[in-house]
Amino acid sequence: MQYTISNKMKDLEGSAIRAVLKMTQSKDLITFAAGVPAPETLPAQFIADKTEEILAKNPALALQYGVTDGYAPLVASLTARMQAMGADMENNGVMVTSGGQQVIDLTARCLLNEGDVVAVEAPTFIGGLNTFRSYNAKCIGVALEQDGIDLNALEDLCKKQKVKLLYTIPTFHNPMGVTMNETKRRALLKLADRYDFMILEDNPYGELRFAGEDVPVIKSMDTNGRVIYAGTLSKVIAPGLRVGWAAAPRPVLDKMIVAKQVVDVHTTMLSQIVADAFIHSEGYDAHIAQCRALYGKKCKRMMECIDAFFPAQATHTSPEGGLFLWCDLNDGRDTRALLEKAVASGVAYIPGYTFMTDITKPTSTLRLNYSIPSIEEIEKGIEILGGVFKA
C-alpha cells in the first residue's frame, strides 16, 4: 500500500534525541543524554495518596470531561503565579495545556502560515524546531551567546526578512544552560515592537535556579501584548502528569483555546487536580529546594570533572539552574561521529547538531545532562568521555 503523507509531515524526521536514547536503552551506559527530572525527586507518594483521595471523594470531577481552559482552581493558581512574576494578568489569560510542548504547538497553529519565518536561538529545543517545521514555517537560527540571543544578528535578520515569531528559552536554556540578561530582555521587546514580531517565551526550567540572581520573565515586561508565555510543571513535578500552561494576550489565548479543542479537547482533569494540590501542599517549597540543591551539586561536580578530564581547548557553559550544560570541543571534530565511540566506551551524550536548524553541518558541540546521573556516574562518565575526546 502506498500512503500519501501530508506535505506538513512528509519531510519531518523524528527527534534525533529519541534516536540516541533508543541507542542507549539496550546498553548498560552512563547517560548524559536525558532531559528529565531526577527520579528521586518525583513526588510519587503524594501523587498516589492524592489520587486515591480524589477518586474516593469526587470521581466524576476527575474522570469526566473538563473545560478546555483548564481546572478552574489550577487556572487561578497559575494566574496568581504569573501575577507574582509581574505579568499583566488583566490583559492576559491562562489556559492549562498538555505540557509546555502543547503551548508551542498551539502558538504555531494560531500564528503561523506556511512559509512564515520563525527566528530561533541556535542551538534550540528540538521540540520547538519540529513543531515549527510541521507547520511548514521557515526556522532561521540566530546565534545564542552566554547572556542570551545575539540581538545584532536578530536585527540583521529582521532587516532582511519579515520575522513573524521569535522562539526563545531565555532562562536556563535547553540545550545551552545559559540565561538571557535583563538588559537583553528589554532590548528584545523593543526590537519586537520595531519589527513587529511576536515572542514565544518558553520557560520550563525557571524555577530550578541553584546559583545567581533571579531575572524577571520577559512576559513581565510585555506592555504591548507581544509575548506568549509557555510554562510547565514537567521539570518541577513530573513530566508524566502532562500539565503545562499558556499565558497569552486574550485575543490570542481565545484562539488557542479553540485550537486545543481541535487537538485534545482538554488536559486530563486528574492530573490537573493532583498538580494543583501539590503546588499548594506544605511540602512544595521543600521539594523545589531539594531539586535546586541536588542539581546545583551535580552541575558543579560535572563542571569540575570537565575541567579536569576534557581536552584543554574544550569549553563549557556555567549554568545557574536547569538540567543541562553545553560543551564545545573547539577542535573542528563532529560530535555526531564521536558518539558511537563514546557509547562503545559506556557513555552517552547528545551531539550538538540535533539542536540546529541545519542538521547537516558538523559541529564540535554537545549537550550534557546532570540531573539523571549520580555524582559517581558523573565522575566516572566524564573521565571516560574525556578519554574518548582526547584520543
Ligand X SMILES: Cc1ncc(COP(=O)(O)O)c(C=O)c1O
Interface of this chain with ligand X, residues 272 to 331, rule: CB under 6 A: none
Residue from the set 239, 296, 321, 386 that interacts with ligand X by CB under 6 A: 239
The least distance separating ligand X from the CB of residue 324, rounded to whole angstroms, comes to 9
State the nearest-atom distance from the C-beta of 266 to ligand X, in Å: 16
Give yes or no for residue 179 binding ligand X (CB under 6 A): no
| Complex with ligand X: residue 123 or 373, whichever CB lies closer | 123
177 touches ligand X (CB under 6 A): no
Please pick, from the candidates 51, 116, 127, 138, the single residue that binds ligand X as defined by CB under 6 A.
127
Sign of CA dihedral 273, 275, 281, 283: positive
Q: Which C-beta is closer to ligand X: that of 99 or that of 249? A: 99
Neighbouring-strand partners of residue 149: 144
Task: Report the residue number, 230 or 314, with the smaller CB distance to ligand X.
Answer: 230
Among 95-103, 183-191, 270-278, 352-360, the segment contacting ligand X (CB under 6 A):
95-103
Nearest CA to 299 among 322, 277, 281? 322
Minimum CB distance to ligand X, residue 125 (Å): 4
Is residue 174 involved in binding ligand X (CB under 6 A)?
A: yes
Sheet of 324-328: strand order equals 315-316, 324-328, 365-369, 350-351
Least CB distance from residue 307 to ligand X, whole Å?
26
Question: Per CB under 6 A, does 100 bind ligand X?
Answer: yes
Closest among 351, 368, 356 to 317, alpha carbons compared: 368
Q: Return the number of the residue (169 or 252) whose C-beta is nearest ligand X.
A: 169
- Which residue is it, cell 499583566? 88
The H or E element spanning position 205 is none
Q: Does 244 bind ligand X (CB under 6 A)?
A: yes
Q: Which stretch binds ligand X (CB under 6 A): 94-102, 218-226, 249-257, 379-387?
A: 94-102
- Of 138, 193, 134, 143, the residue nearest 168 (C-alpha): 143
How far apart, in Å, are the Cα atoms of 33 and each of 24, 307, 370?
Answer: 9, 19, 9
**Order of strands, sheet of 198-202, starting from the edge strand that comes earlier in the sequence:** 92-97, 244-249, 227-232, 198-202, 163-168, 117-122, 138-145, 148-149
DSSP 321: B
Tell me if 369 contacts ligand X by CB under 6 A.
Answer: no
Cell of 365: 558541540
Q: Which of 32, 71, 125, 349 binds ligand X (CB under 6 A)?
A: 125
Q: Is the distance from CB of 165 to CB of 153 less than 8 angstroms?
A: no
Residues 18-47 that bind ligand X (CB under 6 A): 35
Does residue 234 interact with ligand X by CB under 6 A?
yes
CA distances from 172 to 22, 97, 336 (A): 26, 22, 24
Residue number of the CB closest to ligand X reads: 99
State how far the Cα of 74 lies from the Cα of 280, in Å rounded to an integer: 10
**Does residue 123 belong to the site contacting ligand X (CB under 6 A)?**
no
Q: Which range binds ligand X by CB under 6 A, 98-106, 149-157, 305-313, 347-355?
A: 98-106
Q: Which of 130, 117, 97 is nearest to 259 (CA)?
A: 97
Least CB distance from residue 118 to ligand X, whole Å? Answer: 15
- Reading the block at residue 30, the C-alpha cell is 552512563
Contacts of 138 (CB under 8 A, 6+ apart): 115, 116, 117, 118
Cβ count within 10 A of residue 19? 12
* Residues from 201 through 220 that contact ligand X (CB under 6 A): 202, 204
Per the CB < 8 A criterion, the answer to whether 346 and 383 are in contact is no
Instruction: Name the one range near ligand X by CB under 6 A: 153-161, 232-240, 247-255, 325-333.
Output: 232-240
The nearest distance, CB 389 to ligand X, in angstroms, is: 25
Contact letters for ligand X, residues 65-84 (x by CB under 6 A): --------------------
Q: Which of 31, 101, 220, 357 binds ligand X (CB under 6 A)?
A: 101
| Contacts with ligand X, residue ranges (CB under 6 A) | 35, 99-101, 125, 127, 169, 174, 202, 204, 232, 234, 239, 244
